[in-house]
Amino acid sequence: MKIETSLRINEMRLQAHIDELGKIGLNDSKGLDRITFSTFDLQARQWLIEKIQDLQLNYQIDVAANIWTTLPTTNNLAPIMIGSHLDTVPNGGKYDGALGVLIGLEILTTLLENNIQLKHPIGLVSFTAEEPNPFNLSTFGSRVVTGKLKKSNIEHVQTANGIPLKTALASAGGSMEAIESAKKTPGELAAFLEVHIEQGKRLLNQSIPIGIVTAITGIYREEITIIGEANHAGTTLMTERNDALVAASKFVVAFEEIVRKDPSDEVVGTIGQFAIKPGAPSIIPNEVKLLMEIRGDKVEKITNIRQQVDAVLNQLERQQPIQTHRTIILDQAPTDMDETIIDSFKKAVPQEDHYLLMGSMAGHDATHLASITKAGMLFVPSIGGKSHCPEEYSRIEDIEKVSNVLLQAIFDLDNILDKE
């Protein structure tokens, strides 16, 4: 059953906020440098706080420096939270993360100016340090909130320049000493909803304006070291060599073929780091260390690729007297989005529009929130599939459609969440 309501967000106001926030951290390359806890990141956080205050709402900065606000309600129900993040990668775009926060702000504004009070408190959260950052702690805020980061894990963390995380966190209003008090338990939040740019071309290529995320990718990373034998590059005959780089090159080509042959578009693989030793032109390489990553929306799909990788490495060891050493760096399982929320998103899409059920090939804060509450995500098309760069762009007409789907879905979820 479709949701029927005439309430819509104000797309001109939303676009103005996108442009206004997009000036904070703008560099000469037209990209944004709002790296975690930088001066520009702190300015963006203050900008959001001032916008919340303009709505005459209270806000809270928790000990992880996450920013929270909710619309008041007379019911004692857990809040439905909308959120994402404000930080960027170096020379990033103005839509990644920030769009989800700004859409949440726009929905709160729309509800307030129309004097609409729902049963559940409707809130906004901006999570700290979602992007990779100098502290090597991406999705920091959401991992603290879900209890996945403990004080013992992070109290001694610092940047390569020696800046302690404890100091940087305090500059944004957080506190290392009490960091674990930010953890929320199941039931404290009724739902978490995140809107994000797709960061790919699937929606664009099919001319579909709305993406409904069914799962967030699993990520498997493994460091593979291939050991051969160093020798003189001029005097060692080709038939007598045990070149680690040759074996590694064969593996890279085989890995690419394995992933390309997989029938699922939701499976991708990358060799993102490659180090050769000793790295001299007159010496046959005796060691290659590479970092392999596999992403997929189902554990079974990732496992299938891993099994084929095992077979390739075993075959290389039979063909050439190399040794291989393997270390798992990350094994993060895919995260399914909540079916109740997915159904509400479907019902909220107008009959004249189309949506695509799709997996997210990037990690998001929603991955972690799904461990303590119902979580759902919507995607906005990315023009050219561009992201993490100054050319990152999404059309306001697509943003408006997805924002209104989120708004209508909130009405639906407000009616059904406390009845389950």
- With a pLDDT cut of 70, the percent of the chain lying above it is 99
Task: Answer whether residue 343 shows pLDDT above 60.
Answer: yes
Task: Answer whether residue 164 shows pLDDT above 90.
Answer: yes
Fold of 218-332: Alpha-Beta Plaits (3.30.70)
Residue the block writes with tokens 């406390």: 418
Q: Would you state the pLDDT for residue 379?
A: 98
Q: Would you state the pLDDT for residue 1?
A: 54
pLDDT tens-digit map of 280-327: 999 999 999 999 999 998 899 999 999 999 999 999 999 999 999 999
CATH number of 11-216+334-419: 3.40.630.10
Q: Would you state the pLDDT for residue 3?
A: 56
User: Which residues of the chain are in CATH 3.40.630.10 domains?
Assistant: 11-216+334-419
pLDDT tens-digit map of 369-416: 999 999 999 999 999 999 999 999 999 999 999 999 999 999 999 999
pLDDT tens-digit map of 226-245: 999 999 999 999 999 999 99
Q: Would you state the pLDDT for residue 392?
A: 97
User: Which residues of the chain are in CATH 3.30.70.360 domains?
Assistant: 218-332
pLDDT tens-digit map of 259-275: 999 998 889 999 988 99
Cα(191)–Cα(234) distance, integer angstroms: 65
Mean pLDDT of all residues in 191-218: 96
- Mean pLDDT in the chain? 95
- Going by C-alpha positions, the residue among 45, 23, 14, 36 that lies closest to residue 94 is 23
pLDDT tens-digit map of 56-80: 999 999 999 999 999 988 888 999 9
Task: Answer whether residue 4 shows pLDDT above 80.
Answer: no
Q: Would you state the pLDDT for residue 72?
A: 86
